[in-house]
Amino acid sequence: MRILLTGATGYVGGRLLPQLEGSGHAVRCLARRPEYLEQRVGSGTVVVKGDCLEPDSLAPAMRGVETAYYMVHSMGSSGDFQELDRRAARHFGQAAGRSGVRRIIYLGGLGQTGSELSAHLRSRHETGQALQSGGVPVVELRASIVLGSGSLSFELIRALVERLPVMICPRWVQVLAQPIAVEDVTAYLLGALDLPGEESRVFEIGGADRVSYADIMREYARQRGLKRLMIPVPVLTPGLSALWLGLTTPVYARVGRKLIEGVRNPTIVTNDEALSVFDIRPMSLREAIERAIRNEDQRYALTRWSDALSSAGHPRSWGGVKFGSRIVDSRTLRTKLTPAEAFTPIRRLGGDRGWPYANPLWRLRGFIDLLLGGVGMRRGRRDPEQLQVGDALDFWRVEAYEPARRLRLAAEMKLPGRAWLEFEVKPVEGGSEIRQTAVFDPIGLGGLLYWYGIYPLHDRVFAGMLRSLGRLGARS
């Protein structure tokens, strides 16, 4: 079966991609920016450039496809996301009909239809209807909150519980939901490939437990060993709550606000037909949160942060882009050097050679780390030319290394949070591109004050280091 997957750079789509590739089917991905996806896909997967808002770009991607996954939304946009979603889905459905696609599989949202339905959930339902405009049967899976390491909902809950020992809880915190683990969501999406019949169907999917948002936060606090006081208040509306969350959590405000404004609607399964049609028994809330916590670091190691930046609307902002609980500062430099030449000064970082920009400041940071009881810069590096995963490099640890392509360092200095520094080099026309990425995962208010307090200095050092790497590569 030839399968088309949209949204492969998103959260659920990125989890679904390797499972589709492992199923033995021929996979084709539609992406607005193929260069962000090409190095993530398997050798047999084809990436095609296209945009659901540009109907003429869809035909090449649809050619020969039997089943198409629609995993696209426009909540990160600054305009009317409902109209954009309807238009994109209509274009996709009509292109699928003209190309002879036999089935569209779509991940939507739970919520009972009616005038009280939030704009976000109403848009999810309208998208499912618009996909049928080309006459292709649509299998729509409507899910509640998706829980998994790195999911927007989980990061929102995690940030609130980790940072606030006392939480003011408005009425919507008691609204019922049926959260589902991301692993169960992808299992349903895969199972929809083999459904018999050729008619459109809607399945409501949820986890094993019906709980309130407060219950989810209490379970997370229990598993993390945190004592939290939750004070109910009757007056804080979802709209005001969304503004407050934008200040107190690292979740990207525009998307988070649209989700929070919809929590007045219960998102529970009212028709459990999916349990009899699919051979899936969803996890409990306890199991889903347990897996999300356990897999958090593995998720970061396996998933490139940049793949989900489309949800941020604007590519850069002062202090870095917020991605989940992490703050990301990413910069690129184009050079006429080959990838091997551009990577040479990167693999030589630290040790006796020092750092390519503001080395005295790096040394000062190491001295401060020693005073704080950290490792400082005294460890140097094992080999001046070669690296391998697990090597110590000054106050960093090599977490990932691919010669002439990628180096990721995990910080081991004393910090109010966790930090990574990553360098990636890829070939482009006329040379190569160096991407330098700093990621910081702050702990509480102290971590945020640390990052933003010294960001002007970081900004100068990061920019200078990238320029210096380009110059040093030319001399190597």
- Find the mean pLDDT for residues 279-302: 80
Query: For 81-127, what is each residue's pLDDT tens digit?
Result: 788 889 999 999 999 999 999 999 999 988 876 656 777 788 888 88
Q: What is the pLDDT of residue 66?
A: 95
Higher-confidence position of 193 and 164 = 193
pLDDT confidence tier of residue 295, bands split at 50, 70 and 90? confident
DSSP string, 357-395: S-HHHHHHHHHHHHHTTS-TTTT-BS-SS---TT-EETT
Average pLDDT of every residue of the chain = 84
Query: For 181-232, what is each residue's pLDDT tens digit?
Result: 999 999 999 999 999 888 999 999 999 999 998 999 999 999 988 898 988 8
Q: What is the pLDDT of residue 215?
A: 94
* Least confident piece of the model among 284-288, 319-323, 468-472: 319-323
CATH superfamily label, 325-475 = START domain (3.30.530.20)
Percent of the chain surpassing pLDDT 70: 84
Percent of the chain surpassing pLDDT 90: 47
Which pTM was predicted?
Answer: 0.68
In this structure, which topology does domain 2-312 adopt according to CATH?
Rossmann fold (3.40.50)
Contact criterion met (CB below 8 Å) for 183 and 148: yes
- Find the mean pLDDT for residues 142-156: 83
Domain extents for the chain? 2-312, 325-475
Residue 313 in 3-state DSSP?
Answer: coil
Say how far apart CA 84 and CA 410 lie, in whole Å: 39
Residue 266 in 3-state DSSP?
Answer: coil
pLDDT at residue 76 greater than cutoff 60: no
369-377 long-range Cβ contacts below 8 angstroms, 24+ apart: 369/395, 369/413, 369/414, 372/414, 373/414, 374/412, 374/413, 374/414, 375/412, 375/413, 376/413
**For the purposes of burial, counting CB atoms within 10 Å of the CB of 249, is it exposed (0-12), middle (13-18) or buried (19 or more)?**
buried
Query: For 402-437, what is each residue's pLDDT tens digit?
Result: 999 999 999 988 899 889 999 999 999 889 999 999
- Find the mean pLDDT for residues 257-284: 84
